[in-house]
Structure 1
Amino acid sequence: MRYLTTLLSCLLSLFGCQDKVTSTSITRISEQGIDQLFSRTSVRAESASFDCVRSASGRCYYQVFKETCDGQQRCERGMLQAFDIRAGHTQKREGLPQGFRTCVSSSASVPCQ
């Protein structure tokens, strides 16, 4: 009976759900102990969830881009999307290309690096 249970467990695990890999990055900028920017971005396959936790300006300014580099380590950024989110809110973006990157700033006039 124990062998049957083990065999069934192995077979059932083959049909189990496997969640896609998620990468989460946290950007936190503080000045004199006070958060100027606190943002969390979770990337999964071709979508991303942008969470503007706190921002001194009241908004987080995001850029989504695709970076291409030549053989001599010169890279160019191709802007895909630029948007802002009010502090305390989250926004999900779908249909992003494979290998996209993101950056965030607390000001529209200060570009992401």
Structure 2
Amino acid sequence: MGDIEIHDHGDREILVHLHGRIDQALRPRLDVGVEEIALLVDIDGHDRVIVDVREVTALEDAGLCFLSALVRQGERRGHDVALAMVNEQTRRALEAAHWPHQPIMSGSR
């Protein structure tokens, strides 16, 4: 079972932790997460959203859609989106999906 946690660091940065299997079952929470992040960016004027994926065990289509939505949102609202602590499972899923977005921060674990 997957999970998403969103933390407003107050220092112009939002940290998103994804845990476990990021699949269709988590889709409603991921959609709410995109909206919550947009609200935090609007209210607090954050410059960056960092998505920590070190504890992801499977990144399926719903997770890729979530990441794509964050990138599109960042392009529209003028903030960066970066992946942090990319593990091997996540790296393979991103490569298989021909993930075009950069930067990917931190290496594999």
TM bucket (normalised to shorter chain) is under 0.3
Greater gyration radius: 1
Higher helix share: 2
Return the TM-score normalized by structure 2. 0.28
Higher strand share: 1
